[in-house]
Structure 1
Amino acid sequence: MFKVLTSVSAAMLVSILLMTLCSIISKTTIMDREKMSPFECGFDPKSKARLPFSLQFFLIAVLFLIFDIEIAIILPLVITLKTNLFSWALTMAIFIMILIVGLYYEWINNMLEWAK
């Protein structure tokens, strides 16, 4: 117990020491409009530095992640094939039907179209 307490206190001491040292050494910057604006040869920027984010791109990226996770879930189920074929087939059928119903819902609501 004493070793754990010593290790935790040493870790806390090193962390606090490093945070204090970094705050002392770091150079503070003044946040003003000129320093925060993008540099374009001394002129005012012609457009905003940050472009608006496309909601359609976000939806398609989320759909890709969902189907990517689907593969990560399906692959380990192949190992269970040798134990009980009927339960494996039933589990896979239910899982794939849920995904197909979700894909159909997204298709009906035009969530899969890139441009409107």
Structure 2
Amino acid sequence: MMMSLSVAFVCLVSFLFTSVFMALGEKRGLDREKCSPYECGFEPIGSARSSFSIRFFLVAVLFVVFDVEVVLLMPFAFMFYHGKSVLGVLSCMVFLFILFVGLFHECREGSLEWVNQ
């Protein structure tokens, strides 16, 4: 009974928050800056199919990979805090070894250099 009340309370609160934020997010009028493709204040110049440096894309992908790495390392931090197991430490070391091999390969390949020498 208590569990179903908790679930109902969480559903009610989430519905209320969603309703309030959707009501607050309604557009009151058309804003010229919000209707432009870029909200940074610059006027769009050129077509949408203009070329850009592939290095920017590569750095963005590498950021996503290492951002996911941080998320995957969080359970290891909790494991070390609550108690160490041999299997947990070994799996953490294997995971970090694979990541460092990938980082070493990217450095050797020159993927992390923004400007060519």
TM-score (norm 2): 0.53
What does the per-residue CA deviation read over 1:13-71, in whole Å, with 9 as the maximum and x for residues that have no partner?
xxxxxxxxxxxxxxxxxxxxxxxxxxxxxxxxxx7323312210111111111111011
Could you tell me which amino acid in structure 1 is paired with residue 62 of structure 2? L
Could you tell me which amino acid in structure 2 is paired with residue 76 of structure 1? P
Q: Counterparts of 2:87 and 2:66 in 1: how far apart (Å)?
A: 22
TM-score (norm 1): 0.53
Q: Which residue does the alignment assign to 1:108?
A: 108
Q: Counterparts of 1:75 and 1:86 in 2: how far apart (Å)?
A: 17
Q: Counterparts of 1:79 and 1:102 in 2: how far apart (Å)?
A: 25
Structure number with greater Rg is: 1
What does the per-residue CA deviation read over 1:57-114, in whole Å, with 9 as the maximum and x for residues that have no partner?
1111111111110111110233334454211211111000000000010111111111
| 1:90 aligned onto 2:90 | yes
Q: Which residue does the alignment assign to 2:70?
A: 71
Q: Which residue does the alignment assign to 2:37?
A: none
Across the aligned residues of Structure 1 and Structure 2, the Cα RMSD in angstroms comes to 1.8
The DSSP-based 3-state class of the residue aligned with 1:78 is helix
Q: How does 1:35-74 map to 2 (within 5 A)?
A: 48-50=46-48, 51-74=50-73
How many pairs were matched up?
70
| Higher RCO (C-alpha 8 Å, min separation 6) | 1
